[in-house]
Amino acid sequence: MRIDIADPPTLWARWGALAAALTTLGNDDVYWCDANGAHHDDHGGNWARLVLVDGGRAVLFGYDHEYSDTTWASPPLDLLAGAPAWLPWPELTRHAESDELGYVYWYDGGWTRVPYPDPSLDDGLRASARAVLDAEQARRELGEVVFEWGGHHPTDEPTERAEVTVEADRLLAAATAATVDESALDRLLGRIRPRPVDPGAGTAMAARFGLTPTTVPPTVAAGTEVPDRLVRALSDDGHDALVWAAMRQAVEAKRPTPTDTPELAALVGWARDRSPAGDGRCSVTFTVTDGALRQHSGGTPPAARPDEDRWAVVEEAVERVRRLHRAEADPEHGRWIFLRIDTTADDFTVERHYDSWPAGLPVDRHGGPGRTELQKEMDRRGPAYRPAWVVLLAPEVAYLGPPPPFTDLV
């Protein structure tokens, strides 16, 4: 699918101009260049790469942890499906297999990417590489280097901003013409006081990009074949749904019922006290793991008092359920994942699920216990008390698909 993006030399010049400007201020780890191409890293989990490949080709790829919805698309989206052999496959597959590849665009006379099932799907390109995608944004970003990164606060700011815009344009033009020198950087950044600037360091960075006289941009050798690689068969949501489906089919292993504890008595007493009708009848259901606790709706839920914040009820429930969860933990049998308590004025019942999803608890938009949390629980149990579905928690299941007898759950 052809995409309208500026050509690689234009992107490269903007990238190098930003790298040179920031390096002049001592920040050489935001935009930079090495033998493997151009890098951008905001040190917040978002990054972009531009690699020039022999033969006038290029590849632009990256990831934004907030906006790369392609990474979590359901069904999975293979960003490298049908991609050419000349791409830098080792780096691309490494990012893809760690779910940190939001977009891949390759250039061979024009920019191409795989089609997206939804044209509005955000891949994170604009969020992670915005500064190099158009001239106005590059100009604005160079201004930010002066005023934000450099902390420049002139007396006559409108006039100064106009001058900075002119010098930013000149630096971008010099980068395009591969004539960046210390004077171009000093005209833009030498106005910053009292912070020290080092136009020599910035020029050295521009030289690494091949944007100074007698230097050339680094290119990488073209690949020769598409390697064997792992491709997601299940999205993250699909993997969760597989585990929860297996939990709904599971049967509880036989294990001793925990003895009554003060923590159980406290939770039962609290539920009775919160009876909505005031007659001691109350029912509460919880999903509990180390890192999460959720109270489910339905039944006869605990009630807040007229003058009470409704969150007070939730906080009280969390505190008491957590205490019971710890009190009933067993190093061999494990900890329950689901708990239901029903009370009356003079009796109560407790239903604990360690291995299975309760039959009366639907799967809703909030989902269920997370795979990472479930794995923690399974790891500390004795082997005899790990349900068969534990094999589905392995990350490779998302790529290889579920093993028997769970193949029919997909």
3-state secondary structure the chain: CEECCCCHHHHHHHHHHHHHHHHHCCCCCCEEEECCEEEEECCCCCEEEEEEECCCEEEEEEECCCCCHHHHCCCCCCCCCCCCCCCCHHHHHHHHHCCCCCEEEEECCCEECCCCCCCCCCCCHHHHHHHHHCHHHHHHHHHHHHHHHCCCCCCCHHHHHHHHHHHHHHHHHHHHHCCCCHHHHHHHHCCCCCCCCCHHHHHHHHHHCCCCCCCCCCCECCCCCCCCCCCCCCCHHHHHHHHHHHHHHCCCCCCCCCCCCHHHHHHHHHHHHCCCCCCCCEEEEEEEECCEEEEECCCCCCCCCCCCCHHHHHHHHHHHHHHHHHHCCECCCECCCEEEEEECCCCEEEEEECCCCCCCCCCCCCCCCCHHHHHHHHHHCCHHHCCHHHHHHCCCHHHHCCCCCCHHHC
How many angstroms separate the CA atoms of 39 and 32, rounded?
5
How many angstroms separate the CA atoms of 102 and 79, rounded?
8
pLDDT over 90 at 2, yes or no: no
The confidence score (pLDDT) of residue 158 equals 93
The confidence score (pLDDT) of residue 155 equals 86
The confidence score (pLDDT) of residue 375 equals 98
The confidence score (pLDDT) of residue 305 equals 81
Flag the least confident range among 54-68, 87-101, 354-368: 354-368
Cis amide bond preceding 405, omega within 30: yes
> For residue 125, what are its two tokens?
């390109």
pLDDT, tens digit, 9 for 90 and up, residues 129-139 = 999 999 999 99
pLDDT over 80 at 1, yes or no: no
Under 8 Å CB-to-CB from 20, ≥6 apart: which residues? 171, 175, 180, 185, 202, 203, 205, 206, 209, 211
What strands lie across the sheet with 47-53, from one edge to the other? 2-3, 111-112, 103-107, 57-63, 47-53, 37-41, 31-34
pLDDT over 80 at 350, yes or no: yes
The rounded mean pLDDT for the chain is 95
> What region does 401 belong to: left with phi over 0, alpha with psi -120 to 50, or beta?
left
Closest C-alpha to 334, from 294, 305, 373, 367: 373
Flag the least confident range among 77-81, 151-155, 192-196, 387-391: 192-196
- Average pLDDT (328-346) is 97
The confidence score (pLDDT) of residue 299 equals 79
Closest C-alpha to 393, from 273, 240, 262, 209: 240
pLDDT, tens digit, 9 for 90 and up, residues 278-308 = 999 999 999 999 999 999 877 789 988 888 8
AA identity, residue 26: G
The confidence score (pLDDT) of residue 330 equals 97
Residue 309: which pLDDT band, with cuts at 50, 70 and 90? confident
pLDDT over 80 at 254, yes or no: yes
Q: What percent of the chain has pLDDT over 70?
A: 100
- β-strand partners of 230: none
AA identity, residue 76: P
Residue 406: which pLDDT band, with cuts at 50, 70 and 90? very high
AA identity, residue 102: G
The confidence score (pLDDT) of residue 3 equals 82
The confidence score (pLDDT) of residue 192 equals 93
The confidence score (pLDDT) of residue 313 equals 84
Residue 60: which pLDDT band, with cuts at 50, 70 and 90? very high
pLDDT over 90 at 394, yes or no: yes
